[in-house]
Structure 1
Amino acid sequence: MGVLYDYFRAVDDATAVQLMADLDGGPVVTVDGRPGIDAIDLKGIDPAVTLGQLVALARGVPWQDDLVGERLLWNAGEEGPWLTSLDDTTRDTLASITPAQLPELSAGWGRTEELAWDGPLPADQMQPVVEAVAALARRARDAGESLYCWCCL
């Protein structure tokens, strides 16, 4: 079993925290979906390292542990779940990914240590994930909203 990560958008921190109360701590993404919640399930893709690798590739910079700005907003205990907000610079970087960049970003991300445990992934394997993350970030940016990450062991 891995760590679960759901990424979603909300108008502000208070709304995101209220969502945790409404969902009894989550998860945010369910099989049948939740009306009014724009979210994606990215099991195993943490904000700081794995998503940070994609952000670094999109920016054309080396990965650093503080590349993705993240703030803890809600914590249900030592074993989670947790809710963090992602900085708007990260949101905007992801939102700026164009369709022309998808193949290169997918291939590069699939070669990172965090995803290529048994060797590089097929070049296009991560393309749907990159596309989904970029689309969520774009919708958040266009609506003046922020990105959030729900995490649970």
Structure 2
Amino acid sequence: MGVLTDYFRAADAGVVVKYLELSDAASPVGELDGVQAKSVDPDVVLGRLVAAASGGSFVDLDSRAVWPTTPAPTDVPEEGDPWAEGPWVSEVGASARDALAGVSDVAAVTAVWVEAEEVYGDAADWEPFVAELVALARRARDAGESLFCWVSL
């Protein structure tokens, strides 16, 4: 079983929650502007990409959970709890969105990013995804929107 991760843009968390409450789609990508990103988790792997984009080391993405809307359990969630089964959606911080939106050399950033131990594959395989994510981040920034990550098992 793999982890599915998709990135998309929306005006705010309220729009995302309303969408998830009303939709039975597996992922918002397709109905909302986004990109599919199998295995690019919103914490470590995306953090490595944002670090490559900003010329630094690992970056705190300042992300926050927006779905499920119930408080996260302090212990292991029980079967049937939305925190146990997903999907989960988090909002990526504006500084991470802006770092991605500011990428001018996708090939160079991708080449640095694929050197991270958490990234599998070579730069040629990942460059189209990075280009799509950079373009998505630009559209989000230019529209005053946020980036979100949808995760499902």
Fold in common (TM above 0.5): yes
Q: Could you say which residue in structure 2 is the equivalent of 1:28?
A: 28
Q: Could you say which residue in structure 1 is the equivalent of 2:114?
A: 110
1:147 Cα deviation after fit: 0.7
- What is the aligned-residue identity percentage? 42
Equivalent AA in structure 1 for residue 49 of structure 2: L
1:82 to 79, 83, 88: 88
1:127 Cα deviation after fit: 1.0
> Residue 85 of structure 1: SS of its match in structure 2?
strand
Q: Could you say which residue in structure 2 is the equivalent of 1:47?
A: 42
Deviations 1:72-104 (A, max 9, x none): 111233121111111111110110011xx2111
- Which runs of 5 or more structure 2 residues have no equivalent in the other structure? 69-81
How many residues were matched structurally? 140
Equivalent AA in structure 1 for residue 152 of structure 2: C
Equivalent AA in structure 2 for residue 16 of structure 1: V
Maintained 8 Å contact 1:25/1:81: no
Work out the CA distance in 2 between the residues paired with 1:8 and 1:39: 4
Maintained 8 Å contact 1:95/1:137: yes
Maintained 8 Å contact 1:109/1:126: no
- Which runs of 5 or more structure 1 residues have no equivalent in the other structure? none
Work out the CA distance in 2 between the residues paired with 1:72 and 1:25: 19
1:25 Cα deviation after fit: 6.6
1:126 Cα deviation after fit: 1.4
Q: Could you say which residue in structure 2 is the equivalent of 1:133?
A: 133
Equivalent AA in structure 2 for residue 70 of structure 1: S
1:123 Cα deviation after fit: 3.3
Equivalent AA in structure 1 for residue 116 of structure 2: T
Work out the CA distance in 2 between the residues paired with 1:102 and 1:124: 11
Alignment RMSD: 1.5
> Residue 126 of structure 1: SS of its match in structure 2?
helix
